Amino acid sequence: MQARRYSVLAMCSVMALAGCKTSGTDLGGMLDAGASLMTAATLSDGDVKTLGDQTIAHHDKKNRVASAGSHHAKRLAGLTAGWKEVEGRSLEYKVYISPEVNAFAVPNGSIRFYSGLLDSMTDDEVRYVIAHEIGHVVLGHSKKALQVEYATLAARQAGAASGNTAVSAMSSSSIGELGQALIGAQFSQSQENEADDFAVDLLKKTGKPTGGAVTALRKLEKLHGNQRSMFSSHPAPGDRAKRLEARIASK
């Protein structure tokens, strides 16, 4: 579903995002009249990292980040010990002080957890969530989500521009909007299953219990229910729990 949506957005993106500069890279330069639509909509790894850096910096400034000496930060540091780098990807973690039960990953390797999630889950359950978010980074799901949301934002900004006026460099509000889209990103069923499988395998590989994967999803089921939109390919937490339970039992 993500891939199909991305293709549609590629067709919607304009060929002129001039002035959106990153370190040594002019994103607008990729979108000259001679570029293909796919090239126009696809950001390089370097561009994605730069956008990721900008996005997470914006949200770290916007949110209340737990201090290094706080209970939440110390707990997360202990739970992520040994996972500062996974499969060649450097990762860094912080906690936002908020009652929201949520977590999200940015493709530059930044992963954020809300204190509400830490407060509502056991260590084994939080480890599963950590491993699941790492999966989204390592498997490229977060990168694809950022590319899709960036293309959406670019197309909308271009549509609002008069004539052939190029879209200006991304503003702070645009970066914030991009970040909000990533936080609320709905991954496809196949992507969530892949991240779940990655999480269980990582937990096993590092000698951590895997049962927290099932109980964490059951808690999310109680919190959000087991329903999903008929137009969404995003799997319900109860269905994911049942699938993982069977997978763990078979190994």
- In tens, the pLDDT along 46-80 reads 888 888 898 899 999 999 999 999 999 999 999 99
Please name which of 56, 58, 76, 57 lies closest in space to residue 66, comparing C-alpha atoms. 76
| Residues ≥6 apart with Cβ < 8 Å to 228 | 234, 235, 236
Please name which of 145, 242, 248 lies closest in space to residue 197, comparing C-alpha atoms. 248
Per DSSP, what are the bridge partners of residue 26? 21
Distance CA 44, CA 30 (A): 10
| Banded model confidence at residue 15, pLDDT cuts 50, 70, 90 | very low
| Banded model confidence at residue 158, pLDDT cuts 50, 70, 90 | low
Please name which of 27, 26, 9, 7 lies closest in space to residue 181, comparing C-alpha atoms. 9
Tens digit of pLDDT for each residue in 117-131?
A: 999 999 999 999 999
Reading the block at residue 37, the tokens are: 């639509």
Given this model, what pLDDT does residue 155 score? 67
Query: Tokens 């209340």 appear where?
Result: 64
Q: Report, as residue numbers or ranges, the catalytic residues.
A: 133
3-state DSSP assignment of residue 1: coil
| Residues ≥6 apart with Cβ < 8 Å to 149 | 178, 181, 182, 185
